[in-house]
């Protein structure tokens, strides 16, 4: 069975948000040369693949997810020569690089869209969704993900265009075969350049429901609405993409797919489907959503029993048939230790290690978001002026200023808990000015706790979160059980402890994680025989039938 393992199944991916990683040209914005400068840091950590958030030319309405030229580098990040240098330097170190592919939409400043909006009859008109409204009424009742209508009226041609995100992000019409061929040509260009794959942004939105009908609910009150996701031709499009492009290269692909279940994932990433290698699912990130119709804007904590069920459903549902992606956080979510752990100084390190243990011993490909290996925390901004994220600012205007559903203080608490800017604050390298990220004013405020939490301090401390991550990565690379073993959830109804077993060829590993700040008593001796061997722990040897606050350990039983 080991002979059938794909390289990306044993890999660990490190996500770099270029704007916040390292500035080298003194403008307060991270750049490609900054990533190249830290490749040895990443190599030492032990990761295999770097995923770059978008670095393409963009007016930056949505931090690069509004692309105006797919084959040029944004000036903020450098030049194509800088990218070529980064790619070569990574490959020289045995590291692979995957690009963020954003093809559900472009920027309204992309040449395709500029030509599209010139008149109603040009050849690019059908690259996008243009529709006539009814007077001042939009073509349908869809809402955009960032608030407001999903339709924008254009005076020049007196029609509306569809944008399921910002007004500056018009959706591409994948029903048009010329559009699809243009996308495939662009993808092939990057792969011929030597990139090692793609993370595909909202890729399950590329097929809309025919006719774009009204819905009984606002489609983007939460992602996953049937009118804009998992559409009737999405698998046809992805199979065509695979045949025309992906199958021609030894690469990895992962699709961002809101609103999918394990059954859906078998269609997108099933071993015999010829579409994607894996998908990002978000069920585990919705368990703490608002219970009052406000979507992600909540201060609730994730209930552990529900979290365990979602993870178990995916582990069991995909085993032997598809492949899981494993992640606690990314550029669109709060920091893991603040959301699922405990970022108070007394518990931050323990809970960060506990969360890492829980995730990295599951079956799938783990994704580490930059700074996660340091135990970086949410920003805890207290002023609206500190935020830069378009989604956060639009939500404040909608919920506080316009609809007055929340008080300013209540909304600020929800932003502090859920804003995307929590994960986008600059990487904390050392105790120098701006955490060593830049000697100029950063585009987004540095988290003040950088004097305590930074890479220099972590590398100097053998007991740091950083070295714990390095050890977990080594375990994954060393033991086939982590890649190939089956998963079994134990104590499914325990609201405080996540206990599971991994088994492969007669070997059993037991993974135990205390998700609380309490010391717990549990009958663990029934599993831990005298011959059990501790492989990793955030405390050291386990105490008989006790779990200390945020304790985590992995034992090999046989």
Residues annotated as catalytic (active site), given as ranges: 201, 256
Alpha-carbon distance of 22 to 31, in angstroms, equals 6
Task: Give kind and range of the element (H or E) at residue 2.
Answer: none
Structure tokens at 19: 């704007």
Alpha-carbon distance of 476 to 360, in angstroms, equals 8
Alpha-carbon distance of 529 to 515, in angstroms, equals 24
Alpha-carbon distance of 50 to 370, in angstroms, equals 10
Alpha-carbon distance of 276 to 268, in angstroms, equals 6
DSSP for 110-179, please give it: SHHHHHHTT-TTSTTGGGB-EE--BTTB-SS-PBPTTSSBSEEEETTTTEEEE-SS-TT-PBB-TT-HHH
Structure tokens at 292: 């009052």
Q: Which residue has the tokens 């774009």?
A: 212
CB 21 within 8 A of CB 35: yes
Residue 105 DSSP one-character state: B
Strands 278-280 and 252-256: parallel
With a CB cutoff of 8 Å and minimum separation 6, the contacts of 410 are none
The partner residues of 253 in beta bridges, in order of sequence, read 198
Task: Give kind and range of the element (H or E) at residue 230.
Answer: none
The partner residues of 521 in beta bridges, in order of sequence, read 546
| Buried/exposed 169-196: b ≥16 CB within 10 Å, e otherwise | bbbbbbbbeebbebbbebbeebbeeebb
With a CB cutoff of 8 Å and minimum separation 6, the contacts of 483 are 5, 9, 10, 363, 476
Strands 56-57 and 151-154: unpaired
């Amino acid at each position: 069975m080991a002979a059938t393992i794909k390289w990306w199944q044993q890999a660990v991916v490190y996500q770099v948000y270029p704007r916040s990683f390292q500035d080298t040209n003194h403008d307060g914005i991270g750049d490609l040369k900054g990533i190249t400068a830290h490749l040895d840091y990443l190599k030492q950590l032990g990761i295999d693949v770097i995923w770059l958030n978008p670095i393409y030319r963009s007016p930056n309405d949505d931090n690069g997810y509004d692309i105006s030229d797919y084959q040029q580098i944004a000036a903020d990040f450098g030049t194509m020569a800088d990218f070529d240098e980064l790619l070569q330097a990574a490959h020289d170190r045995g590291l692979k690089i995957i690009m963020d592919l954003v093809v559900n939409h472009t920027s309204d400043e992309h040449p395709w869209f500029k030509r599209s909006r010139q008149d109603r009859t040009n050849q690019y008109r059908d690259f996008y969704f243009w529709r006539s409204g009814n007077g001042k009424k939009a073509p349908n009742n869809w809402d955009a993900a960032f608030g407001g209508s999903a339709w924008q009226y254009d005076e020049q041609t007196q029609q509306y265009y569809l944008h399921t995100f910002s007004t500056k992000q018009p959706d591409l019409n994948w029903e048009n075969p010329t559009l699809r061929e243009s996308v495939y040509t662009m993808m092939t260009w990057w792969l011929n350049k030597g990139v090692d794959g793609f993370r595909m942004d909202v890729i399950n939105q590329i097929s809309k429901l025919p006719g774009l009908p009204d819905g009984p609910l606002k489609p983007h009150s939460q992602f996953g609405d049937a009118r804009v996701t998992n559409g009737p031709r999405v698998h046809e499009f992805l199979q065509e993409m695979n045949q025309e492009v992906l199958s021609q290269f030894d690469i990895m692909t992962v699709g961002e797919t809101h609103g999918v279940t394990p059954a859906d994932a078998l269609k997108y990433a099933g071993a015999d489907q010829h579409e994607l290698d894996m998908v990002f699912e978000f069920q585990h990130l919705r368990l703490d959503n608002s219970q009052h119709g406000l979507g992600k804007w909540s201060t609730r904590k994730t209930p552990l029993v529900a979290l365990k069920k979602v993870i178990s459903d995916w582990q069991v549902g995909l085993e032997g048939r598809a492949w899981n992606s494993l992640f606690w956080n990314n550029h669109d979510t709060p920091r893991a230790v603040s959301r699922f752990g405990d970022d108070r100084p007394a518990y931050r390190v323990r809970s960060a290690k506990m969360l890492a243990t829980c995730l990295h011993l599951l079956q799938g490909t783990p994704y580490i978001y930059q700074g996660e290996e340091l135990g970086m925390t949410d920003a805890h901004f207290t002023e609206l002026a500190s935020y830069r994220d378009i989604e956060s600012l639009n939500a404040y205007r909608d919920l506080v200023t316009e609809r007055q559903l929340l008080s300013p203080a209540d909304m600020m608490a929800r932003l502090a808990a859920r804003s995307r800017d929590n994960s986008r604050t600059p990487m904390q390298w050392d105790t120098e000015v701006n955490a060593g990220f830049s000697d100029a004013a950063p585009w987004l405020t540095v988290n003040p706790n950088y004097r305590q939490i930074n890479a220099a301090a972590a590398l100097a401390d053998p007991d740091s979160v950083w070295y714990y991550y390095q050890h977990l990565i080594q375990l994954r690379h060393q033991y086939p059980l982590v890649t190939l073993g089956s998963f079994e959830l134990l104590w499914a109804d325990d609201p405080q402890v996540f206990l599971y077993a991994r088994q492969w060829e007669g070997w059993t590993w037991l993974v135990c994680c205390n998700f609380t700040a309490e010391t717990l008593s549990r009958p663990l001796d029934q599993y831990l025989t005298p011959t059990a061997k501790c492989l990793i722990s955030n405390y050291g040897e386990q105490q008989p039938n006790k779990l200390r606050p945020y304790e985590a350990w992995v034992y090999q039983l046989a």
